[in-house]
Structure 1
Amino acid sequence: MDSIAAGLKTTAPPDQGDTGSPARWVVLAVALSAIFMQMLDTTITMVALPSLQSDLGATFAEIQLVVAVYSLAFACALVTGGRLGDIYGRRKIFLIGMLGFTIASALCGAAPSSAFLIGSRVLQGLCSGLMFPQVLSIIQVTFSAKERPKALAMYGASVGLGTVLGPVLGGWLIDMDVLGTDWRAIFYVNLPVGLIALFLGMAKIPESSAGGARRLDVTGATILSAGLFSLILPLVIGREHDWPGWSLVLLALSPLLLAEFFVYENRLSKRADKSPLVPTGLFKERSFTVGLLISVVFFAGIPSFFMTFFMTLQIGFDYTPISAGVVSLGFALLIAVGSARSAAVVRRLGTKTLAVGTGLLLVGMAGVIGTLHWAGSDLRGYQLIPSLMVAGLGGGFFLAPCTGIILAGIRSREAGSASGMLATVQQVGIAIGIAVAGILFYGLLGSNADDASRSALPELRRDLAVAGLSETEQANVTAAFQTCFHDRMNQKDLTGTPESCARIEKEMANGPAPQEVKEKVQDAVTGTAVPEARKANFSDSFEQVVYWQIGCFGLSCLLVLALPKIRPEDVQDVPGGA
């Protein structure tokens, strides 16, 4: 993809770039505002999931889709968006993407239902895919070779800040509850930024396109999108619907469609008059093939971790969104530190930098598992911060240089197409990771429910004895508590009240016991036993899900060893990560 290729190169013909006009910094601000919002909207929704689930009555599968479909739509539009900018003009496609993203953000904020929100997130992701590839090309044609490294460094900082500030900014906006908007503020915050960027973009961004750009591969883009949606959609919602036939059919179709995409692109690659999305000759490059695998596996780890992390703190341990966001701040800050220091590490270690990064992530995730196992239902968020800081440092060492290291091993004129495909599979990895981690997490909440409720029984029995209940009455209450908790943790919507719980509450309210005793029993069950069991259940389930991240980062570390050995000085100066 020529547009991304242009942005990836740090040298350009002498006549490229505006060396004198102050407007170039306005152009940069507009372009970076788009990157910031795109990265922000990848992570800001994580901390809002419990709030929007409660407000919209969404199921687990639906809140997973709120996150996953954005990344999936983003991935499907990335390579196509770059080619559209090459053909029709980067400024034009960028502004169309910005307008669509702003409108989609307004629709997300106003969503009356989970289905409407999911549809709006798809539109938001598609528009992100239009904007993202244009930014590096706009920087390339706006700045001289001398100033370009500074502009690219600011680009990298915007990617990092957008990712880092997402959970904290999201928690703060929800906690502020401006004009009663609650979680909706995380989308409305894009509106003023988007409108200002549109106004300045129309006035200041120069138009540019790729000379001799070839036509769009619509058929290839359609096959690729169909294959990816056939894979992700059933993974996200199949469990909730007990794996109906259509979900299994889609899962079976997805590898066939992706294979057909490869066959079709291979056929186009052999014809001089055609322009494939992905020239299949790239797959002969070991760096590209291994790099794709590393990207999809690695990016299946971090976002899926934070989805379950925020669900555990907020639903399991009653943290507010802002408190949960603050706990994650150590991870975010150390990502920034690791990113800033990664260039120096790359100069010394080259490809091994990625292995160091994944190794630190493995240590951090192991620390999270150990902390959860040790603390159990007595977990305090601050206890996770040291492990998250180690993981964050590893994330910085990996995210910042990963694209440059992978592309440094590619000796091909199709480096732009390679970079576009890498960015695509990173977003696909995010969607797959969220889907798989969701299946594991929500399944474990159900299967661990009985053990979690049993852990709360000793204290419950003591409280019931203090309330004056006989042993027979205590046995009846504890049995009812366990039944209700089991049913609550195995339903699709944790905010709902299962029939068994409603029936038990009614029986207790109509029982012959004095009102004072009923109140003591109610307080013992709902005020102590239920929160204790919920904490134990979420802590145990989250601990077990983190082994998914251990697998992702461990496999990434092994795959890094399969990359071609390169000299540190050959690594391209590229802002890394999706």
Structure 2
Amino acid sequence: MVDQAHRDAPEVPLSPRRRTAALVVLLIGLGMDVLDGSILYVALPTIQRDLSASGSHLQWLAAGYALPFALAMITGSRLGDIHGRRRVFLFGMVLFSATSLVCGLAGSVEVLIAARVAQGLAAALMVPQVMATIQVMYPPGRRGIAIAASSAVFAVTTVFGPVLGGLLLSLDIADLGWRVIFLVNVPICVLAAVATLMLVPESRASSAIRLDLVGVLLATLGMVALLYPLIVGAEQGWPLWSVVTLVLSVPLLALFVLHQRRRHSSPLVELSLFARRSFTGGLVVMMLCMGGVSGFSLVFTIYLQSGLGYDALAAALTQMPWGLAAAVFAVLSIGVLAPRLGRRVVAIGMAVTIVGMTALVGVTMTADGSTGGLVFLVPLALGGAGMGMGVALVFDFALHDVPVADAGSASGLLNTLQQVSIAMGVALVGALYFVLLPGTDPAAPAAEAAGSALSATVLLPLAMIAVALLAVRALPRFATQKEDDAA
């Protein structure tokens, strides 16, 4: 009985009231980080006009947040383990506030991009501390509630982030325009920072952990060398430097893998995980789907505003059926469909997404400036429902054969590569759209030209999701954990 009570006790004992208050503070930080990844899309056309930004600039504003967020997330987790999770969370909060202020005051697109990169780094410091602190604040029997709350915050901010962005732009508070979507973070961060000092407990890892700085450097250089030419190379006609940089990314990433294989203590990536078919298959499905959908979301948002003349709020509301359907069918697939159909739910979801996006292409072929948002409702709802059915289960399937001892590393790697796939999807799909757009008939109306470019561009995310559909066969038939792993 004593041993059981000890196992059920949290590492950092708090009163229920303070624990709940601390959770709220942590979830505010998580919500702001996720929100700033989704709220920007509806503001991109306005930013483009205001700061004379090019297509590659818009891609960098999106990828420039997701990429450092991804690459620094494991580093942020290690820093919290070493220096204290509350301290690192607080530092990330202060940095997020400062970079939001710089974003809001930026006088050029270059300054805005640099601030977005720093914002992504700040988010990478904050987010890992949320789950780690929940682990030490809550006993095992009560963690489920806190984890469910964090999942709900993630879902709500993802779905309603663009709507909030569109609403703020429509209100045009104090004639600030798009700048308000960044400046609104500042007072929230200040209050949350004060609350962090008062309510969130400090905690560290019980064993010594070393930070793999060489691994961080190699991964960062490799991913930047891969993504930078993909974003700007096509726009500049693929100059020699862009090709050389792209080729250079291969040995850099190979060196990163070699370094991880030789590092026996605290590697950034546990390479043995890739020997598990279910993990690698789930990773491929997740990256292709998230990459394709993220790139599609970017270009479709720009199409609605620049091509059809929607304002930011109308564009956000038009896309809401995708997010709402994804949320509803994610819950439905986890609770009802997966226990009966297993991995077939993922395959069905991918197929439904392909049908929805194909139908969307058909609608855009005939849309013009007078087309209302309702004509997009059914295709978007289909696409979102399919994504909800597919992606919601991928993590469970990927972790099916992973031993409990490696579950944390595997989950962290999945989250990191999810953000990497978002950045890559924005780079690839966005680059294709902006290359095709100038190639359309200059005498054609804006809606027709943008629709033609979008219809051709959507073939890339469709192909990515189709490959993901084929990769579903690598997943286990059902996601139920093995008894020996769960024991």
TM class, shorter-chain normalised? over 0.9
The correspondence of residues 281-296 of structure 1 with structure 2, limited to 5 A, is 281-296=272-287
Paired residues of 2:278 and 2:397 also in contact (CA < 8 A): no
Deviation at 1:374, TM superposition (A): 4.4
Paired residues of 1:409 and 1:566 also in contact (CA < 8 A): no
Q: Does 1:354 align with 2:340?
A: no
Question: Which structure is larger by alpha-carbon Rg, 1 or 2?
Answer: 1
Aligned to 1:304: 295
- Name the TM-score, length of structure 2 as normaliser: 0.94
Residues 461-515 of structure 1 deviation map (CA, whole Å, 9 limit, x = unaligned): xxxxxxxxxxxxxxxxxxxxxxxxxxxxxxxxxxxxxxxxxxxxxxxxxxxxxxx
- Distance in 2 (CA, whole Å) between partners of 1:25 and 1:31 is 10
Q: Does 1:340 align with 2:334?
A: no
Deviation at 1:111, TM superposition (A): 0.7
Residues 21-57 of structure 1 deviation map (CA, whole Å, 9 limit, x = unaligned): 3011111111111111111111111100000011111
Aligned to 1:13: 7
- Distance in 1 (CA, whole Å) between partners of 2:381 and 2:329 is 10
- Distance in 2 (CA, whole Å) between partners of 1:255 and 1:397 is 34
Compare 66-75 and 341-350 and name the one that shifted more. Answer: 341-350
How many matched pairs?
477
Paired residues of 1:97 and 1:130 also in contact (CA < 8 A): yes
Unmatched 5+ stretches in structure 2 = none
The correspondence of residues 231-242 of structure 1 with structure 2, limited to 5 A, is 231-242=226-237
Q: Does 1:315 align with 2:306?
A: yes
Paired residues of 1:376 and 1:540 also in contact (CA < 8 A): no
Find 1:565's aligned residue among 477, 480, 487. 477
Identity %: 37
Paired residues of 1:330 and 1:388 also in contact (CA < 8 A): yes
Residues 69-128 of structure 1 deviation map (CA, whole Å, 9 limit, x = unaligned): 111111110111111112222111111111111111111111110000000000000111
Deviation at 1:564, TM superposition (A): 3.0
Q: Does 1:125 align with 2:120?
A: yes
Give 1:99's aligned amino acid: V
Deviation at 1:412, TM superposition (A): 5.8
Unmatched 5+ stretches in structure 1 = 1-10, 457-532, 572-578
Find 2:420's aligned residue among 419, 428, 433. 428
Find 2:27's aligned residue among 26, 32, 55. 32
Secondary structure of 1:402's counterpart equals helix
Paired residues of 1:43 and 1:303 also in contact (CA < 8 A): no
Aligned to 1:78: 73
Give 1:189's aligned amino acid: V
Aligned to 2:447: 535
Paired residues of 1:372 and 1:379 also in contact (CA < 8 A): no
**CA 353–193 in structure 1, closer or farther in 2 if over 3 Å, else same:** farther
Compare 376-385 and 260-269 and name the one that shifted more. Answer: 376-385
Paired residues of 1:89 and 1:209 also in contact (CA < 8 A): yes
Paired residues of 1:358 and 1:557 also in contact (CA < 8 A): yes
Give 2:221's aligned amino acid: A
Residues 359-392 of structure 1 deviation map (CA, whole Å, 9 limit, x = unaligned): 2211211110122234467643221111111111
Residues 521-564 of structure 1 deviation map (CA, whole Å, 9 limit, x = unaligned): xxxxxxxxxxxx11110111111111122112111121122123
**CA 64–254 in structure 1, closer or farther in 2 if over 3 Å, else same:** same
Residues 189-225 of structure 1 deviation map (CA, whole Å, 9 limit, x = unaligned): 2122211211111111111122113211010011001
Aligned to 2:110: 115
Paired residues of 1:365 and 1:549 also in contact (CA < 8 A): no
- Distance in 1 (CA, whole Å) between partners of 2:317 and 2:45 is 16
Aligned to 2:141: 146
Aligned to 1:397: 389
The correspondence of residues 220-235 of structure 1 with structure 2, limited to 5 A, is 220-235=215-230
- Distance in 2 (CA, whole Å) between partners of 1:567 and 1:391 is 23
Residues 293-332 of structure 1 deviation map (CA, whole Å, 9 limit, x = unaligned): 2232111112211111111111111111111111011112
Q: Does 1:66 align with 2:58?
A: no
Give 2:306's aligned amino acid: I
Compare 274-283 and 99-108 and name the one that shifted more. Answer: 274-283
Secondary structure of 2:263's counterpart equals helix
Find 2:398's aligned residue among 399, 406, 415. 406
Secondary structure of 1:301's counterpart equals helix
Q: Does 1:547 align with 2:459?
A: yes
Give 1:295's aligned amino acid: M
Deviation at 1:161, TM superposition (A): 0.9
The correspondence of residues 436-451 of structure 1 with structure 2, limited to 5 A, is 436-450=428-442
Paired residues of 1:377 and 1:536 also in contact (CA < 8 A): no
Aligned to 1:325: 316
